[in-house]
Amino acid sequence: MAADIESIVARVLAISVDSVHDDMSPETSGVWTSLNHIRLIAAMEDAYKIKFKPKEIRSIRSISALRRIVLMKTEGLAT
């Protein structure tokens, strides 16, 4: 699944998969804009058939945070 998440991030941000890493964030990446943040959320919801709560959307400030929430939701640990 990690590779899938990285592929989705790379596609949405129009960067290479090799550029995607756990510490990547809006603060460290010039391409992770507020609009692309919403696009990332929508892409993850579509790909994994999940829904993010507004609080979760605001809390996603890195790839590792995004991965953690997606894993929780897809493993049935969060709603």
Q: What is the pLDDT of residues 57-70, one digit of tens each?
A: 999 999 999 999 99
DSSP assignment of 9-71, as one string?
HHHHHT--GGG--TT--TTT-TT--HHHHHHHHHHHHHHHT----HHHHHH--SHHHHHHHHH
Band of the pLDDT at 73, cuts 50, 70, 90? very high
Residues 19-27: what's their mean pLDDT?
95
pLDDT of residue 77: 60
Can you give the pTM of this predicted structure?
0.88
Give the pLDDT band of residue 79 (cuts 50, 70, 90). Answer: very low
Q: Which domains does the chain have, with CATH numbers?
A: 2-74 (1.10.1200.10)
Instruction: Please give the angle made by the CA atoms of 39, 42 and 45, to the nearest 5 degrees.
Output: 150
